[in-house]
Amino acid sequence: MNELKKDSYKKDKEGFIKYPENWNQKVAFELAKLEGIELTMDHWKIINLIRKFYFKFGIFPKMRDLDEFLYKMYGNRLSSRKLYQLFPKNPIFQASKIAGLPKPTVCI
């Protein structure tokens, strides 16, 4: 994969991109790489779900909400343990960062 120009997705000091409209899958892969995460289909389920939730409601899902929406959309539940395996630092924060969204203000 070619390195993306850092100007194409300027980040704040915590690594969240400043202009979500510049987000795309290539940016997501690059941000994930910086987080030490190799994206899988399970990662994309979470990323897409958080983006959909955020753009529909204007807020971030809580862990319980995330689990319920995953079940409704994909028919399976991901335990908190599995979410932390996918996004070890913090599922909502890391997934939001990779999804090109602002820093969440929700508690776990």
Which residues are the active-site residues?
Answer: 107
Residue with tokens 């510049």: 22
- Rounded Cα distance, 29 and 68, in Å: 26
Residues near 90 by beta carbon (within 8 Å), at least 6 away in sequence: 108
- Rounded Cα distance, 44 and 87, in Å: 11
